[in-house]
A and B are shown apart, each in its own frame.
Chain A
Amino acid sequence: MPARNILALCLAALCLSCSRWDLGLEIPFVATWNGEPLTCDSADPALTDLRFYVSNPQLVTAEGKARDIGFTVEMPWQNDVVALVDLEDGKGACQNGTAELATQVVGVTRAGEYNTLRFTVGVPFRLNHSNPLTASPPLDDPDMHWHWRSGYKFLSAGVRTASDGFWIHVGSTGCEGTVGNITGCRFPNRIEVELKGFVPGESQVAVDLAKLTSGVDLSDGMATDCSSGPAEEACDAPFRAFGIDFATGRQDGEQSVFSLR
């Protein structure tokens, strides 16, 4: 067989393997309030902010076999490690937001029968202490960086009701070392999400702010905020909703904020 034919066969095999092994994924995210879509223009409550970093995405088969999803590079929203989801459009109650939206993460994995989606809300430690003035997108947004704590806000969210409000910034705290040489953080505060019943191409991930604020008094007229600082009592309930024990900064239960729809 001439060498040219062998080459053609090989190329054909390679293409076959592409179609057989690769599953392209576009995973949409939507903000909700008790299951109903929530936007910056919603009446009561209104979204005031919802941005978060997604990393370590995986799909899991019925047999429990986990496969990594590789992010495709989609500048400026995602590099191959971390994606920024931005569900605020700067309108209405989202006063300090931006018009640009990033409503999905995009990736690829091996073809297969999957029924569970996993991901982490957070920036991996090795990238979390980058300088936002020199980091590449999506880690170059100074608004998503905690300059004095060193590291990114993994999640920045808020709602406003007619007479009350709530906002939360989640990120690693209790970090040690110095900026540029951070050696570790006592309270990692990364949110691990596992969503069963995921159907590629059909399922959306809902982020329900009513679940997030279920333990927060949104009727006392006293705006509540949580910025992940130690002993901030206002953080206990929302962190519980993320499945995190706020006293340790580690996940010890199921999160209830993210679900499929």
Chain B
Amino acid sequence: MNRLTGSLAVIAGLLGLGLWLWLQDTGWRWDLPDDLPPPQVPADNPMHWAKVELGRWLFYDTRLSGNKTMSCASCHIQALAFTDGKPRSIGSTGEVHPRSSMSLVNVAYASRLDWANPLLDRLEDQALTPLLGDNPVEMGLGGHEDRVTELLREERYSQLVTRAFPNDADPHSLLNAVRAIASFVRTITSFDSPYDRYLAGEAGAISDSAVRGMELFFSERLECFHCHGGFNFTDSTTHVNTRIERVGYHNTGLYNLDGNGAYPSDNTGLFDMTGERRDMGRFKAPTLRNIAVTAPYMHDGSVATLDDVIAHYQRGGRRLDDGPYAGDGRLSPFKSEFVTGFELSDDERADLVAFLESLTDESLLNAPDLANPFAQ
């Protein structure tokens, strides 16, 4: 064997070894449409199948709540696109949360988390609020943090912990539990709705009515897409190729308590975080993917149906005639310039609803790898 063939053999061997190692231990591969960039993942918590699987068990484990009555999945139910169907969520001790449970669908692509928290851009940080927060109490794990260590040492979890955090001297930590849950939640992706199949060229995937509704949705007359734009139908979207990060918060004229744009004091949106008057009532535009299964709507669940949501935007703000929240949101000085109202016939409204229903991804609602492992 001459020197050249020898070298080639070595190179080929190294390439083969590299390929073998890559196949063995990439740890994770995203299952996404070919043209979609993967989401950003924090450098200190890379994706790994064992972490995702551990996170799935923890997501469904009621022992992560103080009184062992609820898990993450109690407020994020797969069949409801990881919402809970309630106007406002109820914590483990019965406390009613001011806000409605947000869908976790495609949350890996969210540039900011929660309804209106500009500080939170990593699921690893966000998870601490539902787990440990005391105002309101959600899962109420505060004071029971040691239980997480015991849990991760159990046989079911300890093998996954070892695979997920092989170089960690103290792997049975709340920090790692949170990392695992965040990794699992990043896998809750939805890009296989009838609308996606229609875009991919399957002409009959959505009805003619839905096609007309799609045209209305993307029209300047209705302006829906200004806030609910892009592949994830929200303007707060990011991915690995994002160069300029966008975050949008909008006052949609739901409330105007005092004629000066005030929202109910327990739900002032971005204002609660910044203290800036102009931020009153500004909330993130949630993704519209699977929106048909996530009623009731808005940050406080105060709008019952998609029809009612469209009626609200058609009017350009909501007027409440009685009760503590009476006022005309249309006249709010803080309202978004895109919420100006529009004309819409009954047929057109039905078309728009048909389009929104075409964003429901049955494969997400039934995916076995997102389902409760305790029940499998």
Report A's interface with B, CB cutoff 8 A: 96, 98, 131-134, 142-143, 145, 147-150, 169, 173-180, 182, 186-187, 227, 229-232
Contact A179 B143 (CB under 8 A): no
* Interchain Cβ contacts under 8 Å between A and B, 30 examples: A96-B134, A133-B175, A134-B175, A142-B132, A142-B145, A143-B132, A143-B142, A145-B132, A147-B128, A147-B129, A147-B132, A147-B133, A148-B133, A149-B273, A169-B135, A173-B273, A175-B273, A176-B118, A177-B119, A178-B120, A178-B121, A179-B119, A179-B121, A180-B122, A186-B275, A230-B272, A230-B274, A230-B275, A231-B271, A232-B265
Q: How far is the CB of B147 from chain A (nearest CB, A)?
A: 13
* Leading 3 A-B pairs by shortest Cβ distance: A230-B275, A147-B128, A179-B125
Which residues on A sit within 8 Å (CB–CB) of B129?
A: 147-148
B103 CB-CB contact with A under 8 Å = no
Q: A186 to B273, alpha carbons, bound, how many Å?
A: 10
Asked whether, in the complex, the Cβ of A229 is within 8 Å of the Cβ of B175, the reply is no
For B, the interface residue count at a CB cutoff of 8 angstroms equals 29
Interface string of B104-140 (1 = CB under 8 A from A): 0000000000100111111001001100111100000
A-B contact count (CB 8 A): 77
Chain B residues with CB below 8 A from A132, complex form: 128
Decide: A182 and B178 in contact? CB cutoff 8 A.
Answer: no
Chain B residue, CB-CB nearest to A169: B135
Residues of chain A contacted by B134 (CB below 8 angstroms): 96, 143
- Bound-state Cα–Cα, A175 to B132, Å: 20
Closest chain A residue to B122, Cβ basis: A179
B143–A96 touching, CB < 8 Å: yes
> A residues within 8 A CB of B268?
230-231
Restricting to B164-179, which residues have a CB under 8 Å from any CB of A?
173-175, 178
- Report Cα–Cα, A182/B114, bound state, in Å: 17
Which residues in A have their C-beta under 8 angstroms from that of B142? 96, 142-143
A231 contacts across to B, CB distance below 8 A = 265, 268, 271, 275
Closest to B178 in A: A133
Query: What residues of chain B lie closer than 8 Å to A175, measured between beta carbons?
Result: 119, 273
The smallest beta-carbon distance between A156 and chain B, in angstroms, is 9
- Distance in Å: Cβ of A185 to nearest Cβ of chain B: 10
Chain B window 142-161, contacts with chain A (Cβ cutoff 8 Å), 1 for yes, 0 for no: 11010000000000000000
Q: Which residue of B lies closest to A177 (CB)?
A: B119
Whether A173 and B275, one on each chain, are in contact in the complex, defined by CB atoms closer than 8 angstroms, is yes
A149 touches B119 (CB 8 A): yes
- Shortest distance between the CB of B79 and any CB in chain A (Å): 28
Q: Which residues of chain A come closer than 8 Å to B120, judged between CB atoms?
A: 148, 178-179
- B119 contacts A150, C-beta separation under 8 Å: yes
How far does the Cβ of B310 sit from chain A's closest Cβ, in whole Å?
31
- B181 → chain A closest CB, angstroms: 13
- Given that A133-B174, A227-B135 are known contacts, is A174 also in contact with B274, CB under 8 Å in the complex? yes
B125, B174, B274: the one within 8 Å of A147 (CB): B125
**Minimal Cβ-Cβ distance residue in A for B173:** A133
The closest CB in chain B to the CB of A142 belongs to: B132
Task: Contact check, A229 vs B272: say whether CB atoms are below 8 A apart.
Answer: yes
Known: A133-B173, A142-B132, A169-B135. A174 touches B119 (CB 8 A): no
A143 touches B143 (CB 8 A): yes
Cα distance A178–B274 in the bound complex, in angstroms: 13
B279 to chain A: closest residue by CB: A230
- Contact partners of B125 in chain A: CB under 8 A: 131, 147, 150, 179-180
User: Can you name the residue of chain A whose Cβ is closest to the Cβ of B132?
Assistant: A142
**Are A142 and B128 in contact, CB atoms less than 8 angstroms apart?**
yes
Other A-B pairs, 5, CB within 8 Å; known A142-B145, A179-B121: A143-B132, A143-B142, A145-B128, A187-B275, A232-B265
Q: Which chain A residue lies CB-closest to B271?
A: A230
Closest Cβ–Cβ distance, residue B352 to chain A (whole Å)? 34
A182 to B120, CA, bound (A): 10
Shortest distance from the beta carbon of B173 to any chain A beta carbon, whole Å: 7
CA gap between A66 and B261 in the complex, in Å: 49
CA distance A230 to B265 in the complex (A): 10
Q: Within the complex, what minimum Cβ distance (angstroms) separates B142 from chain A?
A: 5
Residue of A nearest to B274 (CB): A174
Instruction: Determine how close the nearest CB of chain B comes to the CB of A225; give it in whole angstroms.
Output: 8
Select from chain A the residue with minimum beta-carbon distance to B175. Answer: A133
How far does the Cβ of B342 sit from chain A's closest Cβ, in whole Å? 33
Q: Is the CB of A178 within 8 A of B119?
A: yes
Chain B residue numbers with a CB within 8 Å of A134 are 175
A182 touches B119 (CB 8 A): yes
Q: Shortest CB–CB separation between residue B183 and chain A, in angstroms?
A: 16
Q: Is the CB of B128 within 8 A of A133?
A: yes
Q: Look across to chain B and name the residue whose beta carbon is closest to the beta carbon of A228.
A: B275
B137 to chain A: closest residue by CB: A96
> How far apart sit A176 and B273, CA to CA, in the bound complex (Å)?
9
CB distance from B180 to the nearest CB of A (A): 13
Query: Closest CB of chain A to B148's CB: distance in Å?
Result: 11
Q: Which residues on A sit within 8 Å (CB–CB) of B121?
A: 178-179
Q: A150 — which chain B residues lie within 8 A by C-beta? A: 119, 125
Tell me which of B117, B122, B135, B271 has the highest count of chain A C-beta atoms within 10 A of its own C-beta.
B135
